[in-house]
Amino acid sequence: MNFMSIALIIFSIFLVTAEANTSAPPNALNILIYEKSINRENIMVVHTIADANCLPIVDNQIPSLDYYWLMNRTMYKPLHPIIKSYTRERISAAPSDEAKNIFFVNLNDLSEIDIDLPSHQVIVETFRNSDGKCEAVAKMKLGESDAGATIILQKIYVDAKQTLNPRRPKIKSITLEGLDASTGGARVRTYKANQ
């Protein structure tokens, strides 16, 4: 068997493997979309994994929290383990004492800009919807400049500038997008970094 035949077989195996892995993990409940100005064509989805009762799976008392890419905004791709470890520094889960279907997500990027949010945590609640399917919803209380409104958070957009350290881009602004929990209308709030 010559080199070209071996290369063709390896490439075919790679294609089959890549095509077989084009959908999100089973029982994944999407929480929100995380998008950056760097490589904007690829967006990251933050999700939890739920059991048959729509409760988040817990490991060592920490609720399940994971991430995957939507390459070109459509094609599923798992995060590389190194990128995942960096991401866990910025977006992490924490347990709640409220109920088994509620936990927190820490948005550590928010600590890098000047904001009046009472907390950098998002409250995530999992539940069974009227169609009998499991869902997750993320809510965040905004600050006094937004009259303490609560946003149902659907997307975070980070405008950042690449630095020599790929783990630490310079954040210029963070935009929270979603729905007003009281009115159901669209709510968008941008927080800018101090220049």
pLDDT of residue 17: 36
pLDDT of residue 193: 86
pLDDT of residue 166: 65
Question: Nearest CA to 100 among 121, 124, 131, 122?
Answer: 124
Residue 183: is its pLDDT beyond 90? yes
pLDDT bracket for residue 5 (50, 70, 90): very low
d(CA 112, CA 82): 22
Report the predicted TM-score, pTM, of the whole model to 2 decimal places: 0.83
pLDDT bracket for residue 9 (50, 70, 90): very low
Question: Nearest CA to 47 among 103, 97, 120?
Answer: 103
Residue 4: is its pLDDT beyond 50? no
Tokens of 70: 């939507």
Residue 15: is its pLDDT beyond 80? no
Tokens of 52: 């048959």
Q: What is residue 81's three-state secondary structure?
A: helix
Task: Kindly state the average pLDDT of the residues 147-153.
Answer: 96
Which residues on neighbouring strands pair with residue 177, listed in sequence order? 155, 188
If one compares 26 and 16, the residue with the highest pLDDT of the two is: 26
Q: What percent of the chain has pLDDT over 70?
A: 87
Length of the chain: 195
pLDDT bracket for residue 170 (50, 70, 90): confident
* DSSP assignment letter at 60: T
Q: What is the pLDDT of residues 68-91, one digit of tens each?
A: 999 998 899 999 999 999 899 999
The answer to whether 125 touches 158, Cβ cutoff 8 Å, is no
pLDDT bracket for residue 115 (50, 70, 90): confident
Q: What is the pLDDT of residues 30-81, one digit of tens each?
A: 999 999 998 888 999 999 999 999 999 999 899 999 999 999 988 999 999 9
